[in-house]
């Protein structure tokens, strides 16, 4: 199978299974490998548009779960009843944004498929990508439940390793994944923090 055929396979598969983008299979692959989702969970999806990750998460958590999708853009996707979508800039921290998160928190999974608008400058794009990941983790530090999972897309670069290292004291396991459904030429990788540790006791005394 050529790379073009490989890409077309996931594109066609997404259409057949009624997902708006092929990116769903990256999340599905990580879920199968690390058992990310369970029925009844609450999930925060950052950079949710066009909605493939939100739809997949909603199916996995079921009617008893909730998914909050946040993006600057509003997707055309029709979501099931357990999904709430909010058009918002995660950097704004507006009262509406914070209140919507507080209503559903804590979350069992906080995931980010956010990517910067690319400039063509590798260093600039990577720096902006890690900035988005840091912003996503800042939300996770506040709203992710103990034992929860953090997933974030990032462009490979010199800043990634130090960020990943900083997560190792916060999670039982931290790993980096390049899903098979990612394009081989893509610089994207996914950081997974599995089972957020309870460090509250460490701050006592």
**Which residues participate in catalysis according to the annotation?**
153
CA 162 to CA 98: how far, in whole Å? 29
Dihedral sign for Cα atoms in the order 75, 76, 82, 87: positive
CA 6 to CA 25: how far, in whole Å? 13
Q: Is 82 buried (19+), middle (13-18) or exposed (0-12) by CB count in 10 A?
A: middle
What tokens does 30 get?
Answer: 């990580």
């Amino acid at each position: 199978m050529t790379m073009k055929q490989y890409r077309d396979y996931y594109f066609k598969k997404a259409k057949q299974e009624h997902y708006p983008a092929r990116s769903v299979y990256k999340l599905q692959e990580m879920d199968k490998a690390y058992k990310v989702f369970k029925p009844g969970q609450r999930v925060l999806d950052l950079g949710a548009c066009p909605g493939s990750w939100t739809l997949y998460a909603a199916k996995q958590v079921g009617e008893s779960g909730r998914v909050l999708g946040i993006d600057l853009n509003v997707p055309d996707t029709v979501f099931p009843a357990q999904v709430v979508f909010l058009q918002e800039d995660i950097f704004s921290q507006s009262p509406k944004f914070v209140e919507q998160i507080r209503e559903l928190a804590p979350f069992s999974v906080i995931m980010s498929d956010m990517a910067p608008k690319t400039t063509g400058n590798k260093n600039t794009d990577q720096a902006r990508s890690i900035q988005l990941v840091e912003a996503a983790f800042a939300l996770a530090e506040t709203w992710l439940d103990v034992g929860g999972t953090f997933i974030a897309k990032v462009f490979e670069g010199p800043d990634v390793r130090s960020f990943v290292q900083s997560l190792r004291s916060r999670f039982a396991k931290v790993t980096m994944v390049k899903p098979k459904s990612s394009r081989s030429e893509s610089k994207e990788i996914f950081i997974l923090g599995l089972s957020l540790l309870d460090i509250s006791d460490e701050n006592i005394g």
